[in-house]
């Protein structure tokens, strides 16, 4: 088990990573941090985190290193590239990738880490910026049981729902299932509001009815009011959701699974990104329906 005052490396202090790293500091862990842009790490540095110029520096003296970066290509570089974590982490270090990434890449990282004498788990999260800020993330873990037992208390600082789903890559596969469920809900919320408005109803009043019935969901309760108020600020970026959907489709094809609904939704989000929505929150899908209603 990792000591409660151990040094932890953290790579990726963006919208979610900064809050996650902050909770670790609150719990008494000492942090070494790296981010593509130092400015985003400043709130942590002001609290005593140590800035590191490279990921190799992050791993120096760390019992575990957590990564929360953007895309699978970033994960591959951080872990498997020259000067990456697998190459530079000391034997016994546990590497924890909390990025939503490829299950195949997760198994590659695990195998490379094992060959280098370090342990690796994939531990993607669900809960968005609010879950990260409130330490209420759901954390889906893939890897060896002993490595999981070693880092479970560390993960529970960032969220109460921490489950070992299986071996290497199982956390990422679980996150794909999560994203599939979210995607379907988001489409349903957008179309329910579009229909209500098209029928001349007050959509806020409609929400007061359907949100209390069997149609109620986290997405309906949290995203529908944002859509109606015109709040499309990112809790989770459209560009990252597109990345997740592409990973899910690639993984599904490798497994021989047909996901026609996801193909439709990916096409819609790609259209939204092409119209300037890539940096908006995922609830901005509603803008496509507003454009259609306006005849644009």
Contacts of 243 (CB under 8 A, 6+ apart): 70, 71, 72, 100
Residue 35: name the closest of 23, 20, 104 by CA.
20
In the residue annotation, 175 being an active-site residue is answered as yes
Q: What pTM, to 2 d.p., does this model score? A: 0.92
- Looking at residue 159, its pLDDT comes to 97
CATH 3.40.50.720: which residues of the chain?
Answer: 7-167
Whole-angstrom Cα Rg for the chain: 20
Please report which confidence band the pLDDT of residue 23 belongs to, taking 50, 70 and 90 as the band edges.
Answer: very high
User: In whole numbers, what is the pLDDT of the chain averaged over residues?
Assistant: 95
pLDDT > 90 in the chain, percent: 92
pLDDT > 70 in the chain, percent: 98
Could you say which of 175, 239, 280, 290 is catalytic?
Answer: 175
pLDDT greater than 90 at residue 291? no
Average pLDDT over residues 13-21: 93
- Looking at residue 2, its pLDDT comes to 87
Distance from C-alpha of 40 to C-alpha of 213, rounded to nearest angstrom: 41
pLDDT greater than 80 at residue 203? yes
Distance from C-alpha of 125 to C-alpha of 1, rounded to nearest angstrom: 21
Determine whether domain 174-293 maps to CATH 3.40.190.10. no
Token pair belonging to 165: 């789903």
Token pair belonging to 203: 């959509």
Token pair belonging to 30: 């000492």
pLDDT greater than 90 at residue 1? no
pLDDT greater than 90 at residue 3? no
Give the residue, 201 or 235, on which the prediction is more confident. Answer: 201
Is residue 122 a contact partner of residue 169, using CB atoms and an 8 Å limit? Answer: yes
Q: Write the Ramachandran bin of 163: left for phi over 0, alpha for psi from -120 to 50, otherwise beta.
A: beta
**24-82 pLDDT per residue, tens:** 999 999 999 999 999 999 999 999 999 999 999 999 999 999 999 989 999 999 999 99
- Looking at residue 145, its pLDDT comes to 97
Please identify, in words, the CATH class of the domain defined by 7-167: alpha beta
- Looking at residue 230, its pLDDT comes to 96
pLDDT greater than 60 at residue 180? yes
Distance from C-alpha of 246 to C-alpha of 261, rounded to nearest angstrom: 13
Quickly count: other Cβ atoms within 10 Å of residue 76's Cβ: 16
Per DSSP, what are the bridge partners of residue 166?
Answer: 142
Please report which confidence band the pLDDT of residue 293 belongs to, taking 50, 70 and 90 as the band edges.
Answer: low
Average pLDDT over residues 216-245: 93
CATH 1.10.1040.10: which residues of the chain?
Answer: 174-293
pLDDT greater than 80 at residue 21? yes
Is residue 123 a contact partner of residue 155, using CB atoms and an 8 Å limit? Answer: yes
Average pLDDT over residues 158-171: 98
Contacts of 20 (CB under 8 A, 6+ apart): 10, 66, 68, 98, 132, 137, 158
Give the residue, 292 or 162, on which the prediction is more confident. Answer: 162
- Looking at residue 103, its pLDDT comes to 97
- Looking at residue 128, its pLDDT comes to 84
- Looking at residue 268, its pLDDT comes to 97
- Looking at residue 38, its pLDDT comes to 95
Residue with tokens 């806020």: 204
Query: What is the SS3 assignment for 247?
Result: helix
- Looking at residue 294, its pLDDT comes to 57
Strand (E) positions, 29-153?
30-34, 50-51, 64-67, 94-97, 119-122, 125-126, 138-142
pLDDT greater than 80 at residue 292? no
């Amino acid at each position: 088990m990792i000591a409660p005052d151990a040094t932890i490396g953290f790579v990726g202090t963006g919208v979610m990573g900064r809050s996650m790293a902050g909770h670790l500091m609150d719990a008494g862990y000492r942090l070494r941090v790296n981010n593509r842009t130092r400015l985003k790490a400043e709130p942590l540095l002001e609290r005593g985190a140590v800035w590191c110029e490279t990921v190799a520096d992050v791993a120096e003296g760390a019992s575990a290193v957590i990564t929360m970066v953007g895309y699978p290509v970033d994960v591959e570089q951080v872990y498997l590239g020259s000067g990456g974590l697998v190459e530079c982490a000391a034997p016994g270090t546990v590497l924890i990738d909390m990025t939503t990434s490829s299950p195949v890449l997760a198994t590659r990282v695990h195998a490379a880490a094992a060959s280098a004498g370090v342990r690796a788990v994939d531990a993607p999260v669900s809960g968005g910026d609010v879950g990260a800020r409130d330490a209420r993330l759901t954390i889906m873990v893939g890897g060896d049981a002993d490595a999981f037992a070693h880092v479970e208390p560390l993960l529970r600082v960032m969220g109460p729902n921490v489950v070992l789903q299986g071996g290497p890559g199982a956390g990422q596969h679980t996150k794909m299932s999560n994203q599939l469920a979210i995607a379907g809900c988001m489409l349903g919320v957008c179309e329910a509001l579009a229909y209500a408005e098209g029928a001349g109803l007050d959509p806020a009043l409609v929400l007061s009815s359907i949100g209390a019935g069997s149609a109620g969901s986290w997405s309906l309760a949290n995203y529908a009011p944002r859509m109606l108020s015109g709040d499309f600020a990112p809790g989770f970026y459209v560009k990252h959701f597109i990345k997740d959907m592409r990973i899910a489709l690639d993984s599904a094809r490798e497994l021989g699974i047909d996901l026609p609904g996801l193909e439709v939704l990916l096409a819609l989000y790609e259209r939204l990104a092409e119209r300037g929505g890539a940096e908006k929150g995922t609830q901005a899908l509603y803008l496509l329906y507003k454009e259609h209603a306006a005849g644009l």
